[in-house]
Amino acid sequence: MNRKVQRIEFRFGKVGNLAPLMAAAAMILWAALSQSNVNGYVLAFFAALVTGVIFAKDEKAYGEALVHGLSKPMFAVIVLAVILAAVSGKLISASGAVQTIAAYVVAAGFTGKLFVAASFLITCLLAFATGTSVGTYFVVIPILFPVGVMAGAAPDFMIGAIVSGAAFGDNLGPISDTTIASSATQHADLGTVVKTRTRYSLPAAAGALILFLLFPQTSNGALVLEGSEGRVNPVSLTMLVIPVVIIVLCMMRKHLITALSWGILAGIAAGLLFGIYTVEDLVAFPGGFSVSGAIIEAITGTAGTVAMLIGVFALLGVLECSGFFEDVGVLLGRLAKKERSTEATIVLSVGILSMVTGVISVAIVALGDLINEIGEKAGVNRYRRANLMDCTGCVFCFLAPWTVHCVIPAQLTAAFGEEAAVAPGSVPFVNYYSLCMLVILAAAVAAGYGRKPPKAER
What pLDDT digit, counting tens, does each position of 4-55 carry? 556 788 988 888 888 998 998 898 888 888 878 778 888 988 999 999 999 9
Q: Which residues face 410 on adjacent strands?
A: none
Distance CA 269, CA 239 (A): 9
**Domain residue ranges of the chain, discontinuous segments joined by +:** 75-300
- pLDDT confidence of residue 228: 45
Q: Which residues face 153 on adjacent strands?
A: 218
Summarised one tens digit per residue, pLDDT across range 248-283 is 887 787 887 898 899 999 999 999 999 999 999 999
Q: What is the mean pLDDT of residues 420-448?
A: 93
- pLDDT confidence of residue 227: 43
Amino acid sitting at position 34: S
Q: What angle do CA 414, 303, 286 make, to 5 degrees?
A: 95
63: how many CB neighbours lie within 10 A of its CB? 14
- pLDDT confidence of residue 171: 92
Summarised one tens digit per residue, pLDDT across range 343-384 is 999 999 899 888 887 888 878 887 888 888 888 888 899 999
Distance CA 324, CA 426 (A): 29
- pLDDT confidence of residue 159: 95
Average pLDDT, the chain: 86
Dihedral sign from CA coordinates of 123, 136, 160, 193 = positive
CA distances from 198 to 34, 205, 383, 387 (A): 38, 10, 12, 10
- pLDDT confidence of residue 199: 93
Q: What is the dihedral of CA 295, 297, 299, 305, to 10 degrees?
A: -150
Summarised one tens digit per residue, pLDDT across range 314-323 is 988 888 888 8
How many CA atoms does the CB half-sphere of 106 hold within 13 Å?
20
